[in-house]
Amino acid sequence: MQYIEVNDLSFHYEEEPVLENISFKVNAGDFAMLTGENGAAKTTLLRNILGLLKPSKGSVSLANENIHGEKLVVGYIPQQVASFNAGFPSTVLELVQSGRYPRGKWFKKLDNEDREHVEKALQSVGMWNERNKKIGELSGGQKQRISIARVFAMDPDLFVLDEPTTGMDVNSREEFYKLLKHSSEFHNKGILMVTHDHEEIKRYANKHIELIRKENSPWRCFSMDSCKELSKHPSSFH
């Protein structure tokens, strides 16, 4: 089932084109990585997909429903979460619990199942013991980890992640990629992730969308040649 469809998308900042002729799909169960050099408008593309920016040409469609016929839940981690609203008066637990709200809990109390999800998410990023800390007291890496925990607690159908592993060490990154691969492979989650570590992720992702600079363009404009299917490696994470 198709979660994201980008069809001949172009995006211009005023007159200057920054993205042109972008087309790809992300389905349920896909782990797609989006790469490109610095300034390749990767974040701009994600923001177009999420509806935060409007394409100048072409179209983007996000599915309304997930594979079970329920409302599609999107989990988004923006770039540089380390600089997030650090003075916000919230404990780590409160913030990660807020990830459950879009799961039909805007007007309902969180139940045991929600609490289990939250605990599991915090355990998976090694932040359970820090749950009563104020978020402003955390280091940059810890803030990154609770942002990831918040999205995992949400249990979204589609993950849209903008360089989520910035500042993470190699082992933490490996664990994170395994968790994502497990989510896509065994729970049919769709994943679109902007990354610079494409060599590391190659063995987890099954799609590679690369933004490349357009030749003969007077502007610093990016496009893509194709959406490459990568060979699937068996998951080692259960």
CA distance linking residue 46 with residue 74, whole number of Å: 12
Q: Is 74 in the site for another protein (CB under 8 A)?
A: yes
**Site residue total, another protein (CB under 8 A):** 27
The answer to whether 183 touches 192, Cβ cutoff 8 Å, is no
Q: Is 127 in the site for another protein (CB under 8 A)?
A: no
CB 232, min distance to another protein, A: 28
CA distance linking residue 171 with residue 120, whole number of Å: 19
CA distance linking residue 204 with residue 231, whole number of Å: 9
Residue nearer to another protein on the CB measure, 125 or 138: 138
In the numeric block, which tokens belong to residue 39? 């300034």
In the numeric block, which tokens belong to residue 161? 């992640």
Q: Is 21 in the site for another protein (CB under 8 A)?
A: no
CB 192, min distance to another protein, A: 12
Please report, as residue ranges, which positions from 132 to 191 form the binding site for another protein (by CB under 8 A). 133-134, 154, 160
CA distance linking residue 207 with residue 231, whole number of Å: 9
Residue nearer to another protein on the CB measure, 134 or 228: 134
Q: Is 13 in the site for another protein (CB under 8 A)?
A: no
CB 116, min distance to another protein, A: 19
Spatial CB neighbours of 100, under 8 Å, sequence gap ≥ 6: 110, 114, 117, 118, 153, 154
Residue nearer to another protein on the CB measure, 58 or 102: 102
CB 133, min distance to another protein, A: 8
Q: In what order do the strands lie in the sheet with 74-77?
A: 57-62, 2-13, 16-27, 222-229, 207-213, 31-36, 190-194, 158-162, 74-77
Which residues of the chain form contacts with another protein (CB under 8 A)? 50-52, 71, 73-74, 76, 78, 84-85, 87-91, 94-95, 98, 101-102, 105-107, 133-134, 154, 160
